Structure 1
Amino acid sequence: MSQSKLEEICARRRVDVAGLKEATPLAELEKKLPGAPKVRGFKASLLRPGLRVIAEIKKASPSVGAIQPGADPSTVARGYEAAGAACLSVLTEPHWFQGADADMMSARNAVSIPVLRKDFVVDPWQLAETRFLGADCCLLIVAHLQERTGEFLKIARGYGLDVLVEVHDEAEMEIGLAAGADLLGVNNRNLKTLQIDLATSERLAKMVPSGVTFVAESGLETREDFARMAGIGAKAVLVGSALMRTGNPGARLAELTEGL
């Protein structure tokens, strides 16, 4: 996914959110938050011993198109939990990833582990919506939010959400750290070239201070890749495509984590 594609997706999300906000203003949405499911502690789950896995439910992506469009989120989620996943990540962006809010809710209801709602946050309204829908964590992408990352981070925490702040390079890492991120995801995909290089995580890992939880994202395909990320201090890996392109994502996760 290129920088231009990222901005195209975010522009479409702004249109979507404008309609949703008109139907349910923020003040009205916030009144509903006390009835949301209790948070499960996303970051806390990643701090347990060993390399932790955030297993992703992703039906499609802009780079490869359809992956497993007919996947049942609750079935995949149960398979991931049985295979030892620490947390789930569920794509809810509808236009390029074929996701839906219902997918996230269905997956969360099927398991007891925490869930990241993986969407493209362009408006603080989405943060309240994320908590209302029952998610335990949200994603903030520094490549899009830039200096507004800190503002969004504070709002998300105010709603009780854990926050995964995603960066791609040194400049974004500096913004994420300055914003106060305590859960940092390094995406190994270069937004300019679209190439995936695990050396990105190896390079940026050196910038992660103690006390900040480091998550390696994208391009993790083998047990060797998992071990490589653990070796540079990653506390967790986020894996989606390598699992979803198989007939049994949970079984594939069990294979990848055996012996780790």
Structure 2
Amino acid sequence: MKDILMEIIESKRITLREQKKAVPAQLLENGASEERKMFSMRRALANSSTGIIAEFKRKSPSKGWINRDASPEEVTAAYQANGASALSILTDTPYFGGDLKDLRIARPEVNIPILRKDFIIDEYQLYQAKIIGADAVLLIAAALEKDECLQLAEKAHELGLEVLLEIHSEKELEYVDSAIDMVGVNNRNLGTFVTDVENSFRLASMLPKDMLLVSESGISSPETVKNLRQAGFRGFLIGENFMKTSNPGEALGSFIKQLN
């Protein structure tokens, strides 16, 4: 079976080489030094009664196009208006139909934390995240060596960005350390894209009790969120369930009403 994650990472390396030619790293570093208002995703989730991280997602490798013509400013503003605790915006183009400008466009429309969700393998992407308006970045254990992950986490903190570490299996528990702000358990295997929410329940008891936990992927029922909260989770990343509808913001609002 083809490993989709490895294919995506190889594509990302090619994209990065092209981006670095177009915009030199030094130029990004200078831009990232400018001060701006930041929002803590960890704090927002810890203080929220719902913990919903609503995701702006146009497509996926497994499902194809979900909402090709979705507007980032309209959807994210509607997400906030309907009770999202934080936002996740995919910025990968080939596999998820996203773009850096989606996050940049959304930033002025909302005053809640935004996660840049992408396959981050280089500090260059952290500078990008800071400049376009992200408050947090996703680091995927399966895509990085442990020391690479630590270095990226530390650089993210230097830039004022929080880190959501994504794990999927027991062997990735060793990636969890003091440089990590939040741990996300991905219910989707990034190699095969098979999804099973039981993965969150399975790993919850193995994670530090003081770590803020986020369950990612495959969540479509308010009852599942209630059960995950009882298992110790405070964040719930949901995208496709909302984005596949004609009005993602209203879908989120309806979901939260059922949750409460």
TM superposition score category, shorter chain reference: over 0.9
- In 1: Cα distance, 2:241 partner to 2:134 partner: 23
Superposed CA deviations along residues 89-118 of structure 1, whole A, max 9, x for unmatched, are 001101111101111111222111110111
Q: Secondary structure at the match of 1:211?
A: coil
Q: How many residues align?
A: 258
**Contact 1:36–1:131 under 8 Å retained in 2:** no
Question: Residue in 1 aligned with 2:174?
Answer: 174
- In 2: Cα distance, 1:167 partner to 1:220 partner: 16
**Contact 2:185–2:203 under 8 Å retained in 1:** yes
Question: Residue in 1 aligned with 2:96?
Answer: 97
Question: Residue in 1 aligned with 2:193?
Answer: 194
Q: Secondary structure at the match of 2:213?
A: strand
Q: Secondary structure at the match of 2:233?
A: coil
Question: Residue in 1 aligned with 2:206?
Answer: 207
Question: Residue in 2 aligned with 1:151?
Answer: 151
Structure 2 residue identity aligned to 1:72: S
**Contact 1:146–1:172 under 8 Å retained in 2:** no
- Aligned: 1:32 with 2:31: yes
Q: Alpha-carbon deviation of 1:207?
A: 1.6
Q: Structure 2 unaligned segments of length 5 or more: list them.
A: none
Structure 1 residue identity aligned to 2:118: D
Question: Residue in 2 aligned with 1:81?
Answer: 80
Q: Alpha-carbon deviation of 1:22?
A: 2.4
Structure 2 residue identity aligned to 1:20: Q
TM-score normalized with structure 1 length:
0.94
Superposed CA deviations along residues 100-156 of structure 1, whole A, max 9, x for unmatched, are 111111122211111011111121111111111111111100001131211111111
**Contact 1:36–1:133 under 8 Å retained in 2:** no
Superposition pairs of residues 26-175 of structure 1, within 5 angstroms: 26-35=25-34, 37-147=36-146, 148-175=148-175
Among all aligned residue pairs of Structure 1 and Structure 2, give the percentage whose two residues are the same amino acid: 37
- In 2: Cα distance, 1:255 partner to 1:27 partner: 45
Q: Alpha-carbon deviation of 1:188?
A: 0.5
Q: Structure 1 unaligned segments of length 5 or more: list them.
A: none
**Contact 2:3–2:192 under 8 Å retained in 1:** no
Q: Alpha-carbon deviation of 1:3?
A: 7.4
* 138-147 vs 35-44, greater mean Cα deviation: 35-44
